Amino acid sequence: MFNAHELLRSLTQNTNTEKDPSKVWIYTLPSWLFENKHHYNDPFETIDEIYADFGYPEKVSTLIRYIPTTEGSATSEDQLVHNWADFLSSYEQKLRNTV
């Protein structure tokens, strides 16, 4: 679905991402984790850690289980997986547009 290796290779040649490499990593880490989530008992715990490590970026908040939806309800795991796929797809597109 998401080819993080190919995208990372193409992005390393872009001077815009060299100024702020976190733009690449905030996509690459969740992308790799998505591809390998079956190796984790709780991949959302790792997403929580990524969220904290990058200073709680709002663009990642839809992947965090303890953050309520805009309607104020808790988020199901199925919804989180859907949000995760949407995040990766839209962020990949934004990064490709900078290359």
Q: Which residues of the chain have pLDDT under 70?
A: 1-20, 69-75, 98-99
The two structure tokens encoding residue 28: 């690459």
Q: What is the pLDDT of residue 85?
A: 94
The answer to whether the predicted template modeling score (pTM) of the entire model surpasses 0.85 is: no
8 A C-beta contact, residue 63 and residue 89: no
Single out the residue of 49, 13, 9, 12 nearest to residue 29, CA to CA: 49
Q: How far apart are CA 32 and CA 91, in angstroms?
A: 14
Tens digit of each residue's pLDDT (9 = 90 or more) over 28-55: 899 999 999 999 999 999 999 999 999 9
pLDDT of residue 24: 81
Q: Average model confidence (pLDDT) for the chain?
A: 80
